[in-house]
Amino acid sequence: MRQLYLIVFLLICSTLSAESYRGFLLTKDGFQLTGYLNVLAYAPGGNQITFTNDFGDEYTIHPFLVSGFGFNYDGKPLRFVSRRHEGLWYFLQEDISGRAVSLFRLPRGGSRWIDDRMLRVFTEQPPEYYLEYGRGEFLAVPRTGYKRNLRDFFRTTSPGLANKIGKRGYRYRDLPSIIKEYNELSRRKRKRL
């Protein structure tokens, strides 16, 4: 029971010290609610965002309640979608939006609006990267086993790229450039009528 009080206390403290960013929530039925996004915090069920609407009402929003949210941070737009992975719900940041494949990443610390201290409590760390392809199909790409996952994923549509996975310039840390290359290759393959 003490642990529950500690979690609530940490969430309240992090919410009070966080900056607010003007942005929006995207509801499940496609409406945008404007307001201020205060802090994205990790919780035992995944992560959640604290949102203050234009009337001043503050809410803690869990990812299964909305489709996503967005705001501008340091002059660049940040967009997030809500997705479920292994029973937990996460807000995932859109890194690369592509016609063939989009790349999302789990937000980690380093920004004033993210509180990722609770990630240490997770017995198994969630993957950092996720691919979205087709009609909303989702593939988690964990660090361990990423070569096998990506090779299997690319093998049928881009065998040349699949053979490069794991080599210099095609490692886990290079995933954004790999996805850009794949999107470019798939764009070239499409024929005009």
Residue 191: per-residue pLDDT:
54
Predicted confidence at residue 116, as pLDDT, reads: 79
Residue 116 and residue 42 in contact, taking contact as beta carbons nearer than 8 Å: yes
Please give the pLDDT value at position 87.
Answer: 84
Question: What pLDDT sits at residue 85?
Answer: 84
Give the separation between CA 14 and CA 71, rounded to whole angstroms.
Answer: 19
Residues of the chain predicted below pLDDT 70: 1-19, 189-193
The pLDDT value recorded for residue 165 is 94
Reference 41, options 67, 65, 60, 69; nearest CA is 60
